[in-house]
Amino acid sequence: MKTDYESINFRDIPHITAREAAFKRSERNPSGYTEKKLLEMLKSRNVEEVYEAFGAIGKLKIKKALPFLKNIALYDEDIETQEDAILTIRQIGGRTAIDILRFLKTTEHKEFIEELLTE
């Protein structure tokens, strides 16, 4: 018996990274996390946990996370993680977040933040 298979063009399927999946998962249901747990997740060495925290923290606008996000933006080894921390700071908003973004604009993140502010 011969079976016909539909050809799938895998190039047309958008690729989603584990980071993006973790971010989207927590952003969809941020109420499933406690503030304490999210702050602990920011300190994790597991990148997926950090991104999960980014999504929920940004959605819930947890201001207590701002110092941790600032440290990630300044000292994390991965530039993508640094930039996503900056995006989360921006999403939280408020006076403290603006002050942090102004400070980060004086660092190597100047161009990235200027692009954000012109959007």
The pLDDT assigned to 31 comes to: 86
Could you tell me the residue range of the domain that residue 23 belongs to? 18-118
Q: What is the pLDDT of residues 66-112, one digit of tens each?
A: 999 999 999 999 999 999 999 999 999 999 999 999 999 999 999 99
Is 36 inside a domain boundary? yes
Q: What is the pLDDT of residues 22-57, one digit of tens each?
A: 888 888 888 889 999 999 999 999 999 999 999 999
Is 42 inside a domain boundary? yes
DSSP code string of 25-59: HHHH-GGGS-HHHHHHHHT-S-HHHHHHHHHHHHH
Is 13 inside a domain boundary? no
Token output for 116: 């954000």
Is 107 inside a domain boundary? yes
Token output for 36: 């304490």
The pLDDT assigned to 64 comes to: 98
The pLDDT assigned to 11 comes to: 61
pTM for this predicted structure: 0.81
The pLDDT assigned to 25 comes to: 82
- Total domains in the chain come to 1
